[in-house]
A and B are shown apart, each in its own frame.
Chain A
Amino acid sequence: MTDRSTDNTTAQTHLELQNLVKEYPGGTMAVDDISLSLPRGELLVLVGPSGCGKSTTLRCIAGLEEPTAGDILIGGESMVGRRPEEREIAMVFQNYALYPHKTARQNIGFGLRMTTDLPDEEVRNQVERVAETLGITDLLEKKPGSLSGGQQQRVALGRAIVRDPAVFLLDEPLSNLDATLRTQMRTEIQQLQRDLEVTTVYVTHDQTEAMTIGDRIAVLRDGHLQQLGRPMACYREPANRFVASFIGEPSMNLLECRVAAGDEALVGPVAYPIDDTLAAAAAEADGRDVTLGVRPEVPTLLGPEEDDSGPSFPGRIDVVEPVGERSFVYVTLDDGPQLTVAVPGRPPAREGTPVRVQIPRDGVHIFDGQTGEALHHPAHSELEGRVPTSTPGGD
């Protein structure tokens, strides 16, 4: 499955995972054969549901866990067997893990004191320089207990960057913050990372966070790498059914179907007529089962009597969720399945209204019903713009 990953070896590889495996005593495969490579200065997000192995991968890079097999290279040198402080890495933890009895100053300076022989004067200068960068100079004498979540987060970042790491590891750094602060810190981390040009691996379970912050994202599930690529690539061309449903909010609609005899339609919860292109894609499936994937943005809602070209299905609106500049409409089709449709602007109709959902053929994904592998993606024009969300410096 990894063969779909964007090939990025053109730039100078800085951090590389080669066939990383981590098996815990008792046979739990936390990480199963993951290979990644990051050019210098890239921010890669490891994203996946809990238990997917993303944190374990990060901890293997940090040296907190020894991999069962495989290699970890930083700047071309193998790090396996080396102690964390020899790897020139720094790590920020979900709960910040600040030493509760040390002041912010001591927290930031602790690593320098333990690993270097710098004179106190120099340690102080470096701590203060970092504190200035992060705007926490006046918090230096405080202990973590008297700092707010955001301030603790900054101290934790300070502790990480003061040692001028080659690789920066962030383990769910924002999940303990409230929503407003989260967005703000996300931007700050992004800026900091760019300013320092430090190779960064960022772990999160939040796909929105992953999409917005990552240069590239690696989607993990059950210890396997599902897809590696730029955020919009993962969104537009998910490698499989899992990535399709995991990336994107609200999730892609997935309809389990079969290819009808004669290859003219997919049948299942709905009967979806297909053209040659789709038929060719569906024919690649291992069996006759395929999954039809429809992003909520793709369908159009029509009045019950309206008709337009392309397949459309009658249904009834269950719930409408206005979320600002667009609305999510949950429609139950007369044939059974429920679809989520995102429509721009105000909600078009009330709950309970009968509608038709039109699903254009050039907007659907097709996945293998058995393996989940993607067989077909809708084409999108290059002019359409690359990344609508703010992902600076995409490639």
Chain B
Amino acid sequence: MTDDGTERTDGGLAGEEKTVTDPASRTAFQRVRDRLPVIGVRPLDIVVYIVYGLAMVFFAFPVLWVVSASLRPEGELFSYPFRLFPQEVSLSAYEQVFSAGMMTWLFNSTIITVLGVASIIAVSVPAAYAFSRFEFRGRRGLLGLVLMFQMISSVIIIVPLYTVMTSLGLIRTRAGLILLYVGIQTPFSIWLLKGYFDTVPRELDYAARIDGCSRLQTLRHVLLRPIAPGIAVVAIFNTVLTWSEFVLAYTVLGTESDLHTISIGIYNFQSQFGNDWRAIAAASVVGMLPLVIVFIGLQRYFVKGLIEGSLKGQ
């Protein structure tokens, strides 16, 4: 490392604005840039724009294509010439999906997601509070355990899951699945919420105690508001996880088709309809639409949550 800059703390020049790689044209270039900040295009900008373009095509195109495929009348998808956009818009594929039980799946997924997320929050907020505000023996070990459960994949437990859920009397019930999600998804939520609690100064708790609050009242009146963004992140996150989850639901709910969630419904639907791509596309669109809507509105929180939950304290 020849240019070990770590020792010098005051670089003087502030911000990326002053980065001009060619010293000869520096001042003139800067003057132009100051007036027309966006027009000054550098070679690297073009490379970056190409990256953006490729990324958008790779990541957005499949979704858009599925939407496009789902909106075609029967037969159009496989007729010449190939069309990116449907020639005429038809909702027949959606009718097909809805007549196959989509409403039931949506209902089940909604109810499981709403109750599941609410339960996860109800369980993880007190736990996160305890990890942040209590000093007790075994606290570190317990936190380590929580973290470990966060890391271990839930796929591992599917083999004994049937036996376990049967012995608990929870097999083929929505309540069973919801409780299972609480067990699986709380660790991450606790971890994330603890981080939020830790940012609230303890003096606030003390002040509240002197003002006559019990711990529960402190949580309710004083701490809940500062950690509200954390709760929002946890809610969004678990909504996505719960809505999307497949293999646990598939195992717990089994053949009880009245209880099937969207993932199970769509999976069964596609095994039934094999190569009807139009219908499969329509089912996929319906299945992801709620999440896409939630997500587009709240993606900022999302990003924040991911970073903070996985990389806290660095």
Are chains A and B touching directly in their complex (CB below 8 angstroms)?
yes
The segment from A90-98, A203-211, A237-245, A372-380 found at the interface with B is A90-98
Residues of B with C-beta under 8 A to A59: 206
The contact of A99 among B137, B206, B217, B222, by CB within 8 Å, is B222
Docked Cα-Cα span, A97 to B30, in Å, equals 46
**Most chain A Cβ neighbours within 10 Å, of B201, B212, B213:** B212
Compute how far the CA of A98 lies from the CA of B225 in the bound complex, rounded to whole angstroms: 13
Task: For chain A, residues 294 to 343, give those with C-beta under 8 angstroms from any C-beta of chain B.
Answer: none
The interface residues of chain A lying within 8 Å CB-to-CB of B203 are 93-97
A-facing mask of B191-214, CB < 8 A → 1, else 0? 000000000010110111111110
Instruction: From B135, B207, B208, B221, name the one whose CB has the most chain A CB atoms within 10 angstroms.
Output: B207
Within 8 A of B (CB), among A69-117: 83-85, 89-91, 93-101, 110-111, 114-115
From known contacts A100-B226, A114-B217, infer whether A62 and B206 are also in contact, taking CB-CB under 8 Å.
Answer: yes
Chain A: which residue is nearest B204 at the CB level?
Answer: A97
User: Which A48-72 residues sit within 8 Å CB-CB of chain B?
Assistant: 59, 62-64
Query: What would 12 A/B residue contacts be, using CB atoms closer than 8 Å?
Result: A59-B206, A62-B206, A63-B209, A63-B210, A85-B209, A85-B212, A93-B203, A99-B221, A110-B208, A114-B213, A114-B221, A115-B211
State A97–B203 Cα separation when bound (angstroms): 5
Which residues does chain B contribute within 8 Å of A393, judged by CB atoms?
Answer: none
With a cutoff of 8 Å between Cβ atoms, the chain B residues found around residue A84 in the complex are 209-210, 212
**Cα(A64)–Cα(B217), bound, Å:** 16
Interface of B is mostly: helix
Q: Is the CB of A85 within 8 A of B206?
A: no
CB neighbours (8 Å) of B222 from chain A are 99
* Chain A contact patch, size range: 20 to 34
What's the nearest-Cβ distance from chain B to residue A79, in Å? 13
How many residue pairs bridge A and B at CB < 8 Å? 61
Known contacts A97-B204, A97-B207; is A114 also within 8 Å of B212 by CB? yes
Residues of B within 8 A of A262 (CB): none
Contacts of B210 in A (CB 8 A): 62-64, 84-85, 89-91, 111
Asked if B226 and A85 make an inter-chain contact with CB atoms under 8 angstroms apart, the answer reads no
A-contact 0/1 string along B213-235, CB 8 Å cutoff: 10001000110011000000000
- B212 near A91 with CB under 8 A, answer no
CB-CB under 8 A from B225, the residues of chain A are: 99-101
A residues in contact (CB < 8 Å) with B: 25, 59, 62-64, 83-85, 89-91, 93-101, 110-111, 114-115, 159
| Complex-state Cα separation, A64 to B207, whole angstroms | 10
Q: Which 7 A-B pairs have the closest CB atoms?
A: A85-B212, A111-B211, A97-B203, A115-B212, A114-B212, A101-B225, A97-B207
Contacting residues, chain A, for B211 (C-beta < 8 A)? 85, 110-111, 114-115, 159
Residue of B nearest to A87 (CB): B210
Please name all residues of chain B whose beta carbon is closer than 8 Å to the beta carbon of A83 when the two chains form the complex: 209
Neighbouring A residues of B206 by C-beta, 8 Å: 59, 62, 64, 91, 93, 97
- A115: chain B residues at CB < 8 Å are 211-212
The one of B201, B209, B226 that contacts A95, using a Cβ cutoff of 8 Å: B201
What's the Cα separation between A64 and B208 when bound, in Å?
A: 11
For the complex, give the distance between the alpha carbons of A98 and B203 in Å. 9
Nearest CB of A to B272, in Å: 52
Q: Contacts A93-B203, A94-B203, A110-B221 hold; do A64 and B209 have CB atoms under 8 A apart? A: yes
A90–B217 Cα distance when bound, in Å, is 18
CB nearest to A109 among chain B residues: B211
Would B207 and A25 count as touching, CB distance under 8 A? no
Tell me the complex Cα distance, A91–B225, Å: 22
Which residues in B have their C-beta under 8 angstroms from that of A114?
211-213, 217, 221
B212: A residues at CB distance < 8 A: 84-85, 111, 114-115
A160 nearest CB neighbor, chain B only: B210
Residue of B nearest to A156 (CB): B207
Whether B226 pairs with A101 at a CB distance below 8 angstroms is yes
B314 CB to nearest A CB, Å: 25
How far is the CB of B41 from the nearest CB of chain A, in Å? 40
In the assembled complex, the CB of A59 is this many whole angstroms from the nearest CB of chain B, namely: 8
Could you tell me the distance in whole angstroms from the C-beta of A334 to the nearest C-beta in chain B?
39
In the complex, what distance in Å separates the CA atom of A10 from the CA atom of B217?
Answer: 42
Tell me, in angstroms, the Cα distance from A59 to B205 when the chains sit together. Answer: 13
Known A-B contacts: A64-B206, A64-B209, A97-B203. Give 14 more (CB < 8 A).
Answer: A63-B209, A64-B210, A84-B209, A85-B210, A90-B210, A91-B206, A93-B203, A97-B204, A97-B207, A98-B207, A101-B225, A114-B211, A115-B211, A159-B207
**Please, which residues of chain A bring their CB within 8 A of the CB of B217?**
114
Give the complex CA separation of A89 and B204 in angstroms. 16
